[in-house]
Amino acid sequence: MRIRYSAPYLFLTPALTAIFVFFFIPVIAAFVISFTDFDIYAINNFGTARFIGFDNYKALINDQLFWTSLKNTFYFVIAAGPLSIAISLGAAILLSSKLVRLKPLFRLTYFLPVVTTLVAVAIVWRFIYHPRFGILNYFLEFFGINPIDWLGDPNWAMPAIILMAVWKNFGYNMIIFIAGLQNIPEDLYEAATIDGANGWQKFKKITLPMLAPTTLFISIITMIGFFQLFAEPYVMTQGGPLNSTLSIVQYMYQEGFRWWNMGYSAAIAFVLFLIIFTGTLIQFKLQKSPEA
Amino acid sequence: MLSKKVILYFILITGGIITLAPFVWMLSASFMYDGHANVYPPRFIPDIFTLTQYEVLFQRLDIGKNFINSLFLSITVTAVSLFFNSMAGFAFAKYRFKGKNKLFNLLLSSMIIPAQVTMLPLFLMLKSVGLINTYMAVIIPGMANIFGIFLIRQYVLSIPDSLIESAKIDGASDFRIYRSIILPLAMPILVTLAIFTFMGTWNDFLWPLIALTDNSMYTMPVALANLMGEHSKDPELMMAGSVVTIIPVIIVFLALQKYYIKGIMMGSVKG
């Protein structure tokens, strides 16, 4: 048979050229820029940017606002991540129960926030959190809870964003968990029942271990997504009040595209990359150790 | 057994109400006159039904233009990236060539790099060739993506080699095989990827916010966020804007949800 060497390269060229030129080169360029003082003057004349070594990274260490954005983002990831995963798992288990009918309807309902435009729902939630007219405070009043100034109080603004993010995202992981649950052989549960295991024991000894690979995957994609927090604070709080919701990406955006400190902004972007990379490694390690 | 069932339904229905309440309120407030959503207790049904807010959006604020921008960009990015990704996915699945595995692994492992890292240089690149604030600024970074190539490759792997071999014996060219055998057989994954890409482009915010600088060029999410600056005290108008932004993605999702959900499951079972 004739071997056509050129064919695969022709098929690959358009996609790989696009990825190379508009993804890989920018990644390398960003790395280089992070070691320069690239600013508004350099935008029109690249030649004016100078190499300044690690100065941007050193400056970050002493930048109070950067630490605030780091702290806020970690707060968001550490709270919203496990919370949304736990709710996803809970919903998936309930929807896998044989007692429940109309499963597709429930699944569809829970999934709806996932597909909707983040900016649009963030705006909806901004009004839901209105201290006087918002529907959240209205509902909470039934339980005797006094009105909370969700987005105006520095202590409540981040929890408000976390709550909204959980509502928006749990449906996605729920779908993946449902698929994972379907792959657990039914006879494992039957054998456990015969041995007299109760529901909680079955959950702990069968469901959780069997779901471990799924959970690892979900933890990683959720973490990567949540570290990129941007639109919610941009729309709902602009990073306030008192910078209590300023995120890393938002700080990067402000430095780079509002003040045009592109060298500094590139350094922030690389710190974000480093954090995501480390986070992924840690989760792989945790998963491998027996007690996790 | 009955009580267990009752508890189960109670939790599921409560969850459903919580999930849907924001949408119900959004829809209801969008049909109210100015100030009618700023009341206590909140209304879940408009006291007087009106389309005023939608008229303001489309006539005075010209949001139709932004809607067209979003629609055009989402469709274009979907078409172009589907074409590029499917060719690359086919090549990775069905050809043997030098450095294939290394190249594929390099692509896969670079998926961990957050897109934000590329945005500064991308902006500078596009600015230096005068493409900032044009449609191309949004289309260019979306032309191909690694996840799409991966998804298509996984699917095409399952197409039997014998089909390709017999087409070759019949004298079909490589492109002919791609067009007449691979594409039709890979249709389910192409539909899945099309929905992902369409929705992803429609919903995207940060990059269009950076790359588009003029109101008439804005996509819906950027226009909406911009509108929020001036109308933060007008929930009725903002809810109408949110409804208009969300409706296309909801329609696409409801029409093609099976493909969408399958795609999520496929993406999650990678080796």
Kindly report, residue by residue over B21-49, the tens digit of the pLDDT: 999 999 999 999 999 998 888 889 998 99
Task: Give how far Cα A226 sits from Cα of A32, B136, B146, Å.
Answer: 26, 28, 20
* CA of B206 vs chain A CAs: smallest distance (Å): 7
| Closest chain B residue to the Cα of A255, Cα to Cα | B120
Of A96-105, B75-84, B211-220, minimum mean pLDDT range: A96-105
Q: What is the pLDDT of residue B268?
A: 65
Query: Using CB atoms and an 8 Å cut-off, which of residues 104-163 of chain B contact chain A?
Result: 107, 110, 112-114, 116-125, 127, 140-141, 143-146, 149
* Residue B43 CB neighbours (<10 A): 16
CA closest to B252 among chain A residues: A115
Distances (CA, A) of A113 to A215, A224, B2, B190: 21, 19, 31, 24
pLDDT at B2: 67
Cβ distance of A11 and B90 shorter than 8 Å: yes
What is residue A290's predicted lDDT score, i.e. its pLDDT? Answer: 53
Q: What is the mean pLDDT of residues A79-87?
A: 97
Give yes or no for residue B1 having a pLDDT over 60: no
Confidence of residue A289 (pLDDT cuts 50, 70, 90): low
* Residue-level pLDDT at B61: 94
> Which residues 42-81 on chain B approach chain A with CB closer than 8 angstroms?
42
Q: How far apart are CA A264 and CA A273, in angstroms?
A: 15
Q: Tens digits of per-residue pLDDT, A181-205?
A: 999 999 999 999 999 888 899 999 9
Pick from A99, A119, A269: which is nearest to B120 by CB? A269
**Tens of pLDDT along A125-184?**
999 999 999 999 999 999 999 999 999 999 999 999 999 999 999 999 999 999 999 999
Q: Bridge-partner residues for A51, per DSSP?
A: A36
Rounded to a whole number of angstroms, the distance between the first and last alpha carbons of chain B is 41
pLDDT of residue A4: 54
The candidate with the shortest Cα–Cα distance to B61, out of B267, B250, B266, B240, is B240
Q: What is the pLDDT of residue B40?
A: 86
In chain B, which residues have their Cβ closer than 8 Å to the Cβ of A15? 84-85, 87-88, 143-144, 149
% chain A with pLDDT above 90: 85
Domain residue spans of chain B: 1-50, 63-268
Chain A residues whose beta carbon lies within 8 Å of the beta carbon of residue B257: 108, 111
CA pseudo-torsion sign B115, A211, A77, B220:
positive
For residue B270, the model assigns a pLDDT of 44
The C-alpha of B174 sits at a distance from chain A's nearest C-alpha, in angstroms, of 7
Mean pLDDT of B86-103: 94
Q: What are phi and psi of B161, to 5 degrees?
A: -60, -30
Instruction: For domain B63-268, say whether CATH 1.10.3720.10 is its number.
Output: yes
Q: Give the residue on B whose Cα is nearest the Cα of A225.
A: B114
For residue B116, list chain A residues with Cβ-Cβ distance below 8 A: 228, 249, 252, 269, 272
Provide the pLDDT for residue A1. 43
Q: What is the mean pLDDT of residues A210-235?
A: 95
In terms of pLDDT, which residue wins out, A288 or A105?
Answer: A105
> Which range, of A161-165, A288-292, B91-95, averages the lowest pLDDT?
A288-292
The third-level CATH classification (topology) of the domain covering A63-288 is: MetI-like fold (1.10.3720)
Is residue A231 within 8 A of residue B205, CB to CB? The reply is yes
Pick from A12, A33, A277: which is nearest to B120 by CB?
A: A33
Mean pLDDT of B88-95: 95
Note the pLDDT of residue B271: 34
Nearest to A94 among B12, B21, B22 (CB): B12
Substitution target in A11, A173, A211 with the highest count of B β-carbons within 10 Å is: A11
Tell whether B35 lies on the interface with A, counting CB pairs under 8 A. Answer: no
B112 and A224 Cβ atoms separated by less than 8 Å: yes
pLDDT tens profile A31-70? 999 999 999 999 888 888 999 999 999 999 999 999 999 9
pLDDT given for residue A292 in this prediction: 41
CA distance B186 to B182: 6
User: What span, in angstroms and rounded, lies between the C-alpha atoms of B260 and B191?
Assistant: 8
Query: Which residues fall within 8 angstroms of residue A162, CB to CB, at 6 or more apart?
Result: A76, A79, A80, A83
Cα–Cα dist B221/B209, whole Å: 9
Where are chain A's structural domains? Answer: 63-288
Contact A113 B119 (CB under 8 A): no
**Rounded-to-integer distance, Cα B31 and Cα B48, Å:** 8
Question: What is the pLDDT averaged over residues B60-65?
Answer: 96
In this prediction, residue A93 carries a pLDDT of 94
User: Please, what is the average pLDDT of chain A?
Assistant: 93
Does the pLDDT at position A287 exceed 80? no
Q: Are A277 and A264 contacting, i.e. CB atoms less than 8 angstroms apart?
A: no
Q: Work out the average pLDDT over A102-121.
A: 95
CB B32 within 8 Å of CB B48: yes
Chain B environment of A19 (Cβ under 8 Å)? 107, 144-146
